[in-house]
Structure 1
Amino acid sequence: MIITVAPTGGMLTRREHPSVPTQPEDIAADVAACVEVGASAAALHVRTADDLAACDPELYRRVNHLVRARTDVVLNNSSGGGVSVPMRAPLGDGMSEISWPQRLAAVDGGAEIVTLDAITAWASIDGEEVLMNTPPSRARELSARIAAAGARPEWEVFNPAQLTRDVPELLADIDDGRPPIVNICLDIDGVFTNAVRWSPALLSHMVDSLPGSAVFSVSVGGRTPWAALAQAVILGGHIRVGVEDHPFDEDGAPRSNLELVEQAVRLVRALGHRPATVDETRELWYVKRRVR
């Protein structure tokens, strides 16, 4: 089973969580420690020097280089970025969207995988609303850019409707014989509209609705992700953990990426599986190691 660590995310600040890694050296050190205990992939966001979300390809290249200098791991760079002011483009009437040119630029960071959020949804943060605007035309543009860069897309799925229309239609344009990589994102409805809350029936339905050959993972926001992640493993999926998704425990105490990966390893083993190696992860996802 692939265990992906998502160490940083695009929203949480050091003021809110004392150990969220936001700078390149810190991210690389955290990822390397997590690989030592069982992670085989890293879903990365980058931040500016003052910890604001970014999709700057130079920052991605810097982080990717530092990670690869420390450890061998499959790298996944986010094209979603975050809702910090530097990533916002004005829409008028006081509203803004996550900058599309900046999202496209994330493709050039040199990762094996780049996320593709084929959804249009509002993010509500601290009373402000920011649009993630990804109509099909933009999703096709991003998909083509990812392919041209020699990377693979990871389709971020927020709700069942995406699996009945959006993702199948887009996949039809890029059928290359390889199974699509899908991450089912649950319990982020407190931030994003069009996102859904986990239930056993819902996750079973979403897995049943996946394209037949898809290799899927599940990520779960909030303080109590483990039942949903256990179900993901039972259903034959892979799992993502990290401070991006569940930075605090049930009592509100901050958790570290290392602790979360260690707990994920215990979960996988308790369910009769073992963590995938990095080489096995590349085989499952049909990706090749990139050296730059």
Structure 2
Amino acid sequence: MSRKVILTCAVVGENKFNPAHARFPITPQQIADAALEAEQAGASAVHLHVRNPVTGEGSRDPDLFLDMATRVRDNGVKAVMNVTCGGGGLYCPDPQDESRAGPGSDVASAEERVRHIAMIRPEMCSIDVSTQNQMDGDKEYIYLNSQSTLRKMAKAFQQLGVKPEIEVFAPGDILLANQMLAEGLFDEPPMYQIVTGTKWGLPSTAETLIYMRGLLPPKALWAAFGIARMQMPMVAQAALLGGNVRVGLEDNLYLSRGVFATNGELVARARTIIECLGLEVAAPDEARAMLGLRKG
């Protein structure tokens, strides 16, 4: 029997995107339809954000999340629902006084950051165990996730019965997450998502994955993904090294140079890569069993 690989589709993110992409999902219904498209193409799980339906900008409005999640469920999507919990950690220092938050900052309490998760009760949600210099287009910011906030969020997820997907952007992030696991803040088996290809982040290479994999605790599940043109190469690298994979329009807009993709097309290509390696994509309920989730 070949190994099962969880294929996640991140159908929409919150960062800037090329407005020329006519099929980029923005409204709650478009996002719900994109989730269904991804599942029909073979996705085991869908990772979901929301956007302001009028401006197209990223949002963390809990009512938008509830609307979107309701539409995903009404669409009959059976893939594991994984909702972002990354909003509320955006710190833009005042150029005149970096001890003060400047324009564009959005730093929220742990309670506020998990409010939409309490409203939706998805099967999974992301927790970014990282503080890092990042960029959105030409905008510089610090992605701020203090240890105190992360511990509060992790406790809230346990109380809600929602499994965290632990997103890590650097080696030290894994070490902190391992400590939180030792403290009982994450339930077994933990699921780590290795993020590569962000500006000032991990390079999208096999060496990166081999090193990061070596820091993981025993029996941990893990996945990895690459940004932009490195999306599909990292599908192959992660699958070959025993991990799970992620694709989708959150991380990459193109099927090939100059050709805009849909989520379904990206999932189909990733599935082909996985199967050509002699592996199989996990069905949604197989993914649930691997992750220790209840049957959908």
Aligned length: 283
**Alpha carbons 2:190, 2:221 under 8 Å: kept:** yes
- In structure 1, the residue matched to 2:143 is 132
- Normalised TM-score (structure 1): 0.89
Distance 1:142 1:223, change over 3 A: same
Matches within 5 A, 1:185-196: 185-189=195-199, 193=200, 195-196=201-202
Residue type matched to 2:63 in 1?
A: E
CA 1:34–1:96 in 2, change beyond 3 Å: closer, same or farther? closer
Distance 1:19 1:280, change over 3 A: same
Alignment partner of 1:25 is 2:29:
yes
> Contact 2:89 / 2:108 at 8 angstroms: preserved in 1?
no
Query: Once the 2 structures are TM-superposed, how far is the Cα of residue 258 of structure 1 from its aligned partner?
Result: 0.9
Instruction: Report the 3-state secondary structure (helix = DSSP H, G, I; strand = E; otherwise coil) of the residue aligned with 2:85.
Output: coil
CA positional deviation for 1:224: 2.9
The answer on whether the counterparts of 1:96 and 1:131 sit within 8 Å (CA) in structure 2 is: no
- The residue identity in structure 2 corresponding to 1:92 is R
Name the amino acid aligned to 2:37: A
Offset of 1:231 from its aligned partner? 1.4
Of stretches 261-270 and 127-136 in structure 1, the one that deviates more from structure 2 is: 127-136
**Does structure 1 residue 116 correspond to structure 2 residue 127?**
yes
User: Does the 8 A contact of 1:186 with 1:198 survive in 2?
Assistant: yes
Q: What amino acid is the match of 1:174?
A: G
Which residue is 1:99 aligned to? 107
| One of 59, 64, 88 as aligned partner of 1:59 | 64
Partner of residue 272 from structure 2, selected from 266, 271, 274: 266
The one-letter amino acid of 2:279's match is H
**For 2:9 and 2:170, how far apart are their aligned partners in 1?**
22
Paired letter, 1:204: I
How big is the shift at 1:269?
0.6
User: Per the alignment, in what secondary structure is the counterpart of residue 173 of structure 2?
Assistant: helix
1:156 counterpart (157, 167, 181)? 167
Aligned partner of residue 38 in structure 2, secondary structure? helix
Q: Provide, for residues 217-260 of structure 1, a one-character-per-residue CA deviation record: whole Å limited to 9, x for no partner.
A: 11210113222211111111111100111112452322111110
Does the 8 A contact of 1:6 with 1:42 survive in 2?
yes
Distance 2:105 2:182 in 1: 28
Question: Which secondary structure does the structure 2 equivalent of 1:156 belong to?
Answer: strand
CA contact (8 A) 2:26 2:50 kept: yes
Matched, 1:238 2:244: yes
Q: CA deviation at 1:93?
A: 6.1
Find the counterpart in structure 1 of residue 80 from structure 2.
74
Measure the CA separation in 1 of the matches of 2:117 and 2:86: 11
- Indicate yes or no: 2:232 matched with 1:226: yes
The question of whether the paired residues in 2 share the 8 Å contact of 1:7 and 1:31 is answered with yes
Letter in 1 for 2:19: R
Q: Secondary structure at the match of 1:154?
A: strand
Tell me which amino acid in the other structure corresponds to 1:209: L
RMSD: 2.4
After TM superposition, the structure 1 = structure 2 runs for residues 163-202 of structure 1, keeping only pairs within 5 Å, are 163=174, 165-174=175-184, 178-189=188-199, 193=200, 195-202=201-208
Query: 2-side partners of 1:202 and 1:136: how far apart?
Result: 24
Task: For 1:40 and 1:155, locate their aligned partners in 2 and report how far apart those are by CA, in whole Å.
Answer: 18
Moved more, 233-242 or 59-68: 59-68
8 A contact 1:97–1:133 mirrored in 2: no
Instruction: Report the Cα offset of residue 23 of structure 1.
Output: 1.0
Say whether the 8 Å CA contact 2:52–2:58 is kept in structure 1. Answer: yes
Q: Percent identity, aligned pairs only?
A: 27
1:286 aligns with 2:292: yes
Give me the whole-angstrom Cα distance separating, in 2, the residues matched to 1:116 and 1:277.
Answer: 24
